[in-house]
Amino acid sequence: MRAFEITSHETPGKVTDIPVPTPGPGEIRLRIHACGLNFADLLMQKGTYQDTPALPFVCGMEVAGVVDALGEGVTGPEVGTRVAVFGGKGGLAEFGCFDAVRTVPIPESMSFEDAAAFLIAYGTSHVALDYRARLQPGETLLVLGAAGGVGLTAVEIGKLMGATVIACARGADKLAVAKKAGADHLIDATHQDIRAEVKALGGADVVYDPVGGDQFKAAFRACNPEARLLPIGFASGDIPQVPANHLLVKNLTVMGLYWGGYLGFKPQVIKDSLTTLFEWHAAGRITPHISHVVPLEDTTDAMELLRSRKSTGKVVVTMP
């Protein structure tokens, strides 16, 4: 089968031929139709992600396809079932083996492409804003990186939850995408002062940050008393340090969110969240924004779209 394999952290991955895997105990084999890309895939290639697998490995954290075979002890989902899976790796291939308990049936109304773009981005934002930050109607939500894979879903979900949403992104085109997703106010990070603009709008009650670096520092200083800050990732490459005395003075809370981590210690949080999200999708309340659909053979180009920040929403790779 064809797969995008990483053999070294010093050289780029490439599409190559590797054997079709056999499902082990507790696993299903999936005939993969689509794989959603995430910034974490870039970090895995460099070996800097918190859950980077041992070399060699196949990239691709979230996939959608059809169950092709069952491993020992697996009674479902049945062969032929359409499912999505957050597998953590192995998605950029024609076939992949994943834990059966991680599979989620795909509604008939949802395409494979939408399903592959759905789990991580929407799941991260919903768990962050609802379960962790307890975002309330009428509060002000500041979303950094608001046109990216997770940022755009935070804008959409924040608006659905009744917040006033301030979207921060680079350039008019990206801000237009955030506006379409429901943002009430727009800040262009290329030339506007984030701290000043947010304070002029009344300050932030919740900050959703997949960027880090100077943008986190500016947002931190624009927080209202009792604000909650959610570090989601560090796309800037700069992990900011938090001045604890400022937390004390303004009664601020910084709460980390690693969505995949809940699978290991509290999976019901993810299960409940995805139930809500699939209901919202079926009702037409949320719709994945996919800026690029790329065939497997062009995965290197798809990765570059993320690296160069030329995409908005999600980039999805499809299999032949």
Measured CA to CA, the distance from residue 43 to residue 88 in angstroms comes to: 13
Looking at residues 121-137, what average pLDDT do you find? 97
- Within this chain, do residues 72 and 127 fall inside the same structural domain, yes or no? no
Q: How far is CA 232 from CA 98, 151, 235, 267, in A?
A: 25, 9, 9, 19
CB 316 within 8 A of CB 35: yes
- Within this chain, do residues 128 and 185 fall inside the same structural domain, yes or no? yes
Size of the chain in residues: 320
Residues in Cβ contact with 211 at an 8 Å cutoff, skipping those fewer than 6 apart: 144, 145, 233, 234, 235, 236
Looking at residues 103-112, what average pLDDT do you find? 92
Identify the three-state secondary structure at position 145: coil
In the prediction, which pLDDT does 263 show? 87
pLDDT band for 92, please (50, 70, 90 cuts): very high
Position 50 pLDDT exceeds 90? no
- Within this chain, do residues 77 and 51 fall inside the same structural domain, yes or no? yes
For the chain, the straight-line distance linking the first and the last C-alpha, in angstroms and rounded, comes to 11
| Token code pair at residue 6 | 């990483």
User: Quick one: CA dihedral 210, 214, 217, 222, positive or negative?
Assistant: negative
Measured CA to CA, the distance from residue 207 to residue 210 in angstroms comes to: 10
Identify the three-state secondary structure at position 51: coil
CB 59 within 8 A of CB 6: yes
Task: Return the axis-axis angle of helices 149-160 and 119-126, rounded to nearest 10°.
Answer: 50
In the prediction, which pLDDT does 206 show? 98
Tally of domains within the chain = 2
In the prediction, which pLDDT does 140 show? 98
Could you tell me if residue 250 is inside a domain?
Answer: yes
Average pLDDT score, the chain: 95
- Within this chain, do residues 184 and 103 fall inside the same structural domain, yes or no? no
**What is the CATH number for 12?**
3.90.180.10
Could you tell me if residue 19 is inside a domain?
Answer: yes
Kindly give the residue spans of alpha helices, DSSP state H, lying in 117-266: 119-126, 149-160, 172-180, 194-200, 213-220, 244-250, 262-265
In the prediction, which pLDDT does 109 show? 86
Could you tell me if residue 280 is inside a domain?
Answer: no
Identify the three-state secondary structure at position 21: coil
In the prediction, which pLDDT does 260 show? 87
pLDDT tens column, 272-304: 999 899 999 989 999 999 999 999 999 999 999
pLDDT tens column, 2-32: 999 999 999 989 999 999 999 999 999 999 9
Residue with tokens 């139930």: 275
The domain of 177 spans 122-259
pLDDT band for 237, please (50, 70, 90 cuts): confident
Measured CA to CA, the distance from residue 169 to residue 218 in angstroms comes to: 14
- Within this chain, do residues 137 and 247 fall inside the same structural domain, yes or no? yes
- Within this chain, do residues 145 and 217 fall inside the same structural domain, yes or no? yes
pLDDT tens column, 173-205: 999 999 999 999 999 999 999 999 999 999 999
Could you tell me if residue 311 is inside a domain?
Answer: yes
- Within this chain, do residues 254 and 292 fall inside the same structural domain, yes or no? no
